[in-house]
Amino acid sequence: GTISSKKELGAISNTGRKQAFLFNENGSLKGFYKTRKNRDTSFIFYEYDESSNLTVKRYSDSYGFYSYTYSYNEKDEMIKKVYAREKNANKAKINFKLGEQYVVFEEGYSTTKNDTSETRLILNSNGRPYQEQSLIYNNLGYLEKVESKLLINNEITKEVFEYNDRGFIKSKQFFDGDETIPRMKFLYNYDEWGNVTFIDEYKQNTRVKHKEILYDQSNLIIKTILSQDLTSNLITIIKFKPEFYD
């Protein structure tokens, strides 16, 4: 997609930047890249296993690449996460081929479940627990809350989710400790087909960004994303042109 911007009372100007989403033939996101003015293009790549679990999330930066690799058990529960620095065997960033890999740290995960909750114990590189996550579900199986606690200092963060009458996510809120006002909040709205039509972002209950997603009505593929920074009133316009597999 091509990226343009418009300041308050100003004209629309082309920023010269682009961004693109790449999908595999199963419809799963396999890559994303964004060009930035006078800077290198940044990439994110995704890999999956036969069960469609995310196995690798790889990022480019000014030093090369780094990745998170995820392992799962037979129940598709994540049991390990590995962070590594990597070197690309190819010259072009978009054609990544693993050349060298340097493991920096790894984490282990131990999960216990019952009907309406799930507890994850997260282990550091030494195999010792340092964080506990509690996931709470309602009686229909929708995730309602994630509470994360650091075991050494008892610091707690919470994520709270609400759904509309069709079961789509309606709001997502992030809280620190015992705070009753969310540090960050996102509200979502949908069209009759279940496509997201707008996203509002709040910080400390103050709306800071409004995003609208427009679709080509002939195929319901995203056509344009309009994003307004409500602090500066800068509007960013991203126009997409889809390409398809043969």
**Residues 143-192: pLDDT tens digits?**
999 999 999 999 999 999 999 999 999 999 999 999 999 999 999 999 99
Q: Is the pLDDT of residue 130 over 80?
A: yes
- Position 1 scores a pLDDT of 62
Q: Taking 70 as the threshold, does the pLDDT of residue 9 lie above it?
A: no
Q: Are 101 and 124 in contact (CB under 8 A)?
A: no
Pair of tokens at residue 109: 């995960």
State the average pLDDT over residues 61-89.
96
As a whole-number percent, the residues of the chain with pLDDT over 90 amount to: 81
Question: 75 pLDDT exceeds 80?
Answer: yes
Per-residue pLDDT tens for 79-113? 999 999 999 999 899 999 999 999 999 999 999 99
Residue with tokens 């995003």: 211
> What is the average pLDDT value for the chain, to the nearest integer?
93
Q: Is the pLDDT of residue 68 over 90?
A: yes
Write out the two tokens for 162.
Answer: 């609400």
Confidence of residue 16 (pLDDT cuts 50, 70, 90): confident
Q: How many CA atoms lie within 13 A of 105 on its CB side?
A: 7
Spatial contact of 1 and 9, defined as CB atoms under 8 Å apart: no
**Whole-angstrom Cα distance, residue 144 to residue 139?**
10
Q: What pLDDT, on the 0 to 100 scale, is given for residue 239? A: 92
Closest CA to 59 of 91, 79, 34: 34
C-alpha to C-alpha distance for 60 and 102, rounded to whole angstroms: 15
pLDDT digits (tens, 9 = 90+) for 208-231: 999 999 999 999 999 999 999 999
Query: What does the pLDDT average to over 52-64?
Result: 95
